[in-house]
Amino acid sequence: MKDRKEIRWEKAQVYEKGWWAANRGMVIESEAFRQWAVTLRAELRSLLDIDAATRVLEVGSGPIGTVNYLPGDHRYGIDPLEHYYSTVEQFTAIRDPQVKYLTAKGEALPFPAASFDLVIIVNVIDHCEDPGQVIAEVNRVLRPGGIVYLSHNIYNSWGKFVRTCMEKFEVDKGHPYTM
């Protein structure tokens, strides 16, 4: 029997796929992702020079992700909806064919331990079934000394109250968690 978290996550996935299906004709802002990749490289430059040898994983890459615009021969994007994204020509047409996109959840990354130099998690943790398990998996696949780039919206106590009410009544179906 499915627990509440799993049921809520499945509803969020249905919502997310529906959103992309309804909006797939929109122009994906590939320039925004490209600029984000430039910013990311600049922010991390003192810690990690992202080059052809850097092993990069983006958890929750969505249809293209930032990983699409980073250099490297070892780039992966995972998303539970990849099986859908890979069928949409508007998405696949702008993807770098060297990026390996896989259908997977952050809670069960399909990689051996210590596989990546950089793991990117942007606007993902609040979409997950079990955020703690995602962090554990990221820690597992990150090589010693590797970098995690995590970005997430957080709220003050009033904002958390409003978001919690939205979650309880499933007003925002795409975000099972609020931090």
pLDDT in tens, 148-158: 999 877 667 77
Give residue 173's pLDDT: 59
Is the pLDDT at 69 greater than 60? The verdict is yes
What mean pLDDT comes out for the span 71-78?
96
| Residue 97 near residue 164, CB atoms below 8 Å | no
Write down the number of H helices and E strands in the chain: 6, 5
Give residue 44's pLDDT: 94
Please provide the average confidence, as pLDDT, over all residues in the chain. Answer: 87
The pLDDT confidence band at residue 175, using thresholds 50, 70 and 90, is low
Give residue 15's pLDDT: 81
The pLDDT confidence band at residue 32, using thresholds 50, 70 and 90, is confident
Is the pLDDT at 166 greater than 90? The verdict is no
Give residue 171's pLDDT: 60
With 0-12 CB in 10 A as exposed, 13-18 as middle and 19+ as buried, what is 1?
exposed
The pLDDT confidence band at residue 51, using thresholds 50, 70 and 90, is very high
- Cα distance between residue 86 and residue 102, in whole Å: 9
- Cα distance between residue 71 and residue 38, in whole Å: 10
- Cα distance between residue 114 and residue 64, in whole Å: 24
How many other CB atoms are there within 10 angstroms of residue 3's CB atom? 9
Provide, rounded to the nearest whole percent, the portion of the chain with pLDDT above 70: 87
Is the pLDDT at 177 greater than 70? The verdict is no
Give residue 60's pLDDT: 93
Instruction: Give the H or E element holding residue 148.
Output: strand 142-151
Give residue 178's pLDDT: 61
